[in-house]
Amino acid sequence: MARSVVILLSVVLAALQTLAGKPDLYYYWSSPPCRLVMMTASVLGVDLNYILLNIKKGEQFKPEFLMINPQHTVPTLDDDGFVLSESRAIATYLADTNTNGESVYPKDPKLRALVDQMLYFDSTRLYPNFLDLYKPMMAGAPFDEAKADKLDGSLMMLEEYLRRNEWAAGDEMSIADLSLLATVTTAEAAGHDLFGFPKITEWIDKTRAKIPNYQMANQDGINTWKGYNLRKKEPEVSQENRTTTQRSPTTERIQERR
């Protein structure tokens, strides 16, 4: 009996010591930026101590978290006192500090610049376009056709990049693909129509297949968006009018590219 207790305590102590050596990642399921970091860690095999922060309950404003991140945002990485609170900075840091990080974030200056370019494209254009359309709808705002066209315009640009390259930033999958995937799959889950973007649809399937533990790293968070049923707020439009008027600017631009 005593020996069993000693063994159990030894196992618990070893587990605690292992846990103490992991970087802490404060996250929330539905956040696309959080899922970028989670997918990056999954692809690189980085072991993180995941700490769920329920931002709907305001847990990000607790004094103990504000001591770590005064911006009170997720994701936040705490690597033994070294703190980062921007998702793409976290993803690149994980790649730079991992032995196989170059596989998704190349060290060659030109190749890295291409990856950075697509990370910035997501952070400054595609993801803001997504938020601009769908975040107000979560609070009850009606569907905004003009905002939808802006989002479609950014998706059209991604479609063109994928026509030119095998992946978003070149011939190999990179963290740019993971960043963009988090945004695009969330938009799709919110109800955004990806019809007319065949390269994006193909790329989603291809990228998803290369991410270990995809269910945990991205799909579980995507599923939370499906519950909002945001596109049910869109005014009803007949199929005839939808074909000829709704999405027409984007559809015309896509057809011109073909």
Instruction: Tell me whether residue 31 is one of the annotated catalytic residues.
Output: yes
Give the contacts of 17 (CB within 8 A, at least 6 positions apart).
none
Q: How far apart are CA 67 and CA 13, in angstroms?
A: 28
Q: 128: which 2 tokens?
A: 């803001």
Exactly one of 31, 154, 174, 179 is catalytic; name it. Answer: 31
Tally Cβ neighbours within 10 Å of residue 206: 14
CA neighbor of 172 nearest in space, from 218, 200, 144, 210: 210
Length of the chain: 258
Sign of torsion, CA 237 239 241 247?
positive
List residues with catalytic annotation: 31
